[in-house]
A and B are shown apart, each in its own frame.
Chain A
């Protein structure tokens, strides 16, 4: 204890104590240890995140075709890929579909998830059983959900239309077969898939809110709606941010669900940036164009990641 204070206060006395450990050496060892902890993480990040990211950006400026895999040569073509992709009418469509899909899915998932979370935070019999049942859509692999929903939504033989028919509600809805309807259907299926995730996280957040606050609100005579608006929502804000940002990240890059449900059709009505990347890179084998769309997707996600970090930093203060 004393030695350390002495050395710290009087670093200018180097030769005085030969027996005590050399402070410079100690410091060096400490920095070395610090770097030892940091380096593996940095190497990992650079290797598995940095390299592919940079590679993808570079690739978007290259004429990268099947030939490249043999020759290793991918001549730079400046903004060629970018202007090709931006001039393609499909890109604008896909961008719009992605925005509508993401906004619609998040809105639906969040509202239903929150409603269910509030519902389940009350005590009633069979609460636990019902809550685990709601989790089911989350447990089913995305592709399986897609295939099953494709059957359910079939215009002629689908269960949903048959059900609507018996209720006398028409039952002839072209869920996946009309270009005007398909995007909405895909959003509805994605909401079904995403509700459990939203519910679980929001439910956890609700459990964290101290009971006393509700008691105080009740004593003050606050109505149920007032309690929800002025107490539950503000206390839940950090959790809401997390749910929405994570939801955004997983929704904006959607691919598997759409491939299983509509394959981007009918007539490109459900093409998103994810399916367009897939189509460019793996069907047309134009990897440069695929990289361009991929980069746009990364850029969109990055903007939201920055917003999220900002939000969480101000909350931390």
Chain B
């Protein structure tokens, strides 16, 4: 009895130590030969399933197993950084394109062209979207952007044509505002959502993120202020995410909204809603409507194992290949990155043609600032919120520019 007791007493701490050691060594474990891991943000059940199917097909073709590790979008970067410091980076990381430059600048990514990926069939804008300082690090499967969604029934009833210029948009929004319904809904929330929505107004007007206090940016913000002053925008706009904007539109609280194709799946669940989609109005007739490019890119982190990186490159090439792009884009309503796939997509989804047009002239947020984007984004969101809640656009943007350049 006592012997057994002693035995137990000796083994318990030993077992604890073993667990601890196993746990610690598990962090730096050896990669399993034929199993390749993709870190992505497909936590949503449908996206996770679509990705799993695509990865199975590509894995089968290359004779390997591809697994995905999905974390919330906001955690991909920190998760990848932690994995880098414990030398356990996955073989492929799917970054939001606006975050990729940060990881690339830290020296964590491999040039995809050295791994045999070609950029020949990809439109210039989308190659830039996946590049940092001229090097092609990220292959996009699909891209998205913003467009003007409108309620066909409401516009028909009011006899309002789909607006194409800022003046028309302002006029239409004013006419469509009635009772509880606002003419337009957009997101000016204090996160990347709001900044993403401000960029088409800033860029189409000739403004630039490198000079936030430039007159063109001030003018764009004044336009937002005017929409709010007209009563065409809800004052809750500053507290709305893009998902909130979609909810308001679906509930009939807004006749038009600025939003992206990722909402289409949800929009289609409401059968009674007949919606249409158009390019975001430009400042003047004939001016370009420049929208932001959004979406994720597949990257191959530098794991120090050239052989595995080559295979990872082949997996990326397969996932971002024309066939897989089209299959993914048709399910997710995103626009394929590949030119030929995009052409097929336009035929197959005629209702969303406006999105394909918008993508063709769309711009990447990080093309000019690279890893400096987060600072500017934070300064900008604070500025448009201050302006929409009373401050003058000029003063708010001046402060934003100071904050962005001081790096604070």
Identify 12 new A-B residue pairs, CB closer than 8 A, beyond the known A265-B190, A266-B386.
A66-B105, A156-B236, A174-B235, A176-B236, A177-B235, A177-B236, A265-B189, A266-B239, A266-B389, A267-B385, A267-B396, A285-B102
Is B381 close to A, CB under 8 A? Answer: yes
A65-B77 Cα distance, complex, nearest whole Å: 12
> A88 at interface (Cβ–Cβ under 8 A)?
yes
Partner among A66, A177, A279 whose Cβ is within 8 Å of the Cβ of B239: A177
Q: Are A65 and B106 in contact (CB under 8 A)?
A: yes
Query: A266–B77 contact, CB under 8 A?
Result: no
In the assembled complex, A262 has its CB within 8 A of some CB on chain B: yes
Would you give 18 A-B contacts (Cβ < 8 Å), ordered by A? A66-B81, A69-B81, A69-B108, A70-B84, A70-B85, A70-B108, A84-B408, A87-B406, A154-B236, A155-B234, A156-B234, A176-B236, A179-B385, A179-B389, A262-B190, A265-B189, A266-B190, A266-B388
Interchain CB contact under 8 A, B389 and A267: yes
List residues 364-392 of chain B with CB under 8 A from any CB of chain A.
Answer: 374-375, 378, 381-383, 385-386, 388-391
Q: In the bound complex, how far is the Cα of B390 from the Cα of A71, in angstroms? A: 46
| Chain B binding surface, main DSSP class | helix
User: How many residues on chain A are close to B (CB under 8 Å)?
Assistant: 36
Chain A residues near B (Cβ < 8 Å): 65-72, 84-85, 87-90, 150, 154-157, 174, 176-179, 262-268, 279, 282-285
Task: Name the distance in Å between B234's Cβ and chain A's nearest Cβ.
Answer: 5
A266 to B396, CA, bound (A): 13
Given A67-B106, A88-B408, do A267 and B382 touch, yes or no (CB 8 Å)?
A: yes
CB <8 Å contact, B374 and A285:
yes
A88 vs B382: C-alpha distance when bound (angstroms) = 14
Instruction: Report the bound CA distance from A152 to B82 in whole Å.
Output: 38
**A contact patch SS:** loop
The tally of CB-CB contacts under 8 A between chains A and B is 109
Question: Which residues of chain A have C-beta atoms less than 8 A from B239's C-beta?
Answer: 150, 154, 176-177, 262, 265-266
The answer for the CA separation of A10 and B106 in the assembled complex, in Å, is: 72
Is the CB–CB distance between B238 and A177 below 8 Å? Answer: yes
**Who on chain A is nearest to B102 by CB?**
A66
Q: A70-B106, A266-B239 are in contact. Are A285 and B391 (CB under 8 A)?
A: no
Closest Cβ of chain B to A184, distance in Å, is 15
- Name the residue in A87, A90, A263, A265 with the highest tally of chain B Cβ atoms < 10 Å from its Cβ: A265
Q: In chain B, residues 92-135, which have Cβ atoms closer than 8 Å to a Cβ of chain A? A: 102-103, 105-108
Q: Is the CB of B85 within 8 A of A69?
A: yes
